[in-house]
Amino acid sequence: MKNWKSILALLVIVAVIVFVLIMNKRKMANAAAGGVNDVYYVTVQKAEKKDLSTSFSLTGTIVANNDVNILSETSGRVLKIFFDAGDYKPAGAVLAQVDDELKSAALTSAEANYEKSKKDFERIQNLFQQKSATEAQLDAAKLGYATAESQFIVARRQFEDTKIKTPIAGYITMRNIDVGSMVQGAPQPTLIANMVDISKLKVKLNVSEMYAFAIKKGDAVNITTDVYPGVTFTGRIESISSKSDEAHTFPVEITLANQSAHPLKAGIFARVDFNVSKQANYIVIPREAVVGSVKVPQVFVVENGIVKLRNITVGGEAGTLVQVLNGLNEGETVVVNGQNNLVDNLKVEILNK
């Protein structure tokens, strides 16, 4: 019974719209033939104040919390490899061993020179305190000690760099070397691997200027994916850019924890539902009442049977309603059907009085 009533109501609405279009078409035909176009038929609705909770949804891309390209800081031949694509590695784990024979010899020499210079400096310092050595001898010993220490630090770092390690904990997504490969250090370092940390994820998307000022950092959002239908993840707005791009949209980043029950991966699409805080007592009209361009929205307001084209300022949307910030007062009558053939100051007849 309810289905028949719904179908009947839908048919009545369609009949009204068709009638309006036919009558307006006839009026235009009469005007073109030299007749007088006295009246156009429209349906209307009054602007009213309502409490709204603005919500909107956008699609973004899930990315890793950290995405790092691991580069070689030394030159030489790869002797051993301790990883493969797909492996999980903790921070500081050794991925590859580069030939370190020369670096080891240089470190041994630098360490020996450092130890000798340190002892020489300490001996001269004691002699200087006993006034058995000159200040010049002390300065020379001090300089030799500092130089040897610097050379030792450099040699030790170069030796440590032959063990290529992970800077973060995460999963290896790409391996770019094999045993026997030659790698280079700066200025053109060899790419060893790519690694991502997906313990925490980010959703990157762009928000239009209409909504960029309605959301704020720390707001909670609901996130869904096609990978897990029916599963909703909770995220929070991490950042909102202070500068728009060329399309006048603002980059936004949202963070969420990766769940073991429903693990997500970087690179998949996610739909984000934003629920803006409740806004009270705003004037609203049906979305279909708005004509004109996005930059200059307008409505036809009926005054004593005559339509007036008026510019308005719109805010957010809530379902089929549009928030009017300026240009319209509560209780004014706006055209919602039949406005396609209207121009300013035309006489109209209201069908749904």
User: Domain boundary at 278, 310, 330, which?
Assistant: 278
pLDDT of 240 reads: 95
Same domain, 21 and 161: no
22-33 pLDDT tens trace: 666 655 555 444
pLDDT of 2 reads: 47
Query: Among 24-28, 147-151, 185-189, 258-262, whose mean pLDDT is lowest?
Result: 24-28
Predicted confidence (pLDDT) at residue 330 exceeds the cutoff of 60:
yes
Domain extent for 237: 56-65+197-278
Decide if 185 is inside a domain: yes
Decide if 340 is inside a domain: no
> For residues 39 and 341, is the Cβ–Cβ distance under 8 A?
no
Closest CA to 91 of 118, 113, 70, 109: 70
Average pLDDT taken over every residue of the chain: 88
User: Domain boundary at 227, 252, 278, which?
Assistant: 278
Alpha-carbon gap, residue 222 to 55, rounded angstroms: 11
8-state DSSP, 258: P
Total tally of structural domains belonging to the chain: 3
Decide if 329 is inside a domain: no
Query: Residue 179 — φ and ψ, nearest 5°?
Result: -60, 130
Decide if 307 is inside a domain: no
Same domain, 100 and 13: no
Decide if 309 is inside a domain: no
- CATH number for position 143: 2.40.50.100
Predicted confidence (pLDDT) at residue 58 exceeds the cutoff of 60:
yes
Predicted confidence (pLDDT) at residue 35 exceeds the cutoff of 50:
no
pLDDT of 17 reads: 67
Say which residue, 12 or 276, is predicted with more confidence.
Answer: 276
Closest CA to 138 of 160, 152, 154, 121: 121
Contact partners, residue 81, CB within 8 Å, separation at least 6: 95, 96, 97, 175, 177, 178, 179
Same domain, 153 and 254: no
Decide if 222 is inside a domain: yes
Full-model pTM: 0.62
Same domain, 176 and 74: yes
- CATH number for position 221: 2.40.30.170
Same domain, 14 and 128: no
Decide if 334 is inside a domain: no
Decide if 112 is inside a domain: yes
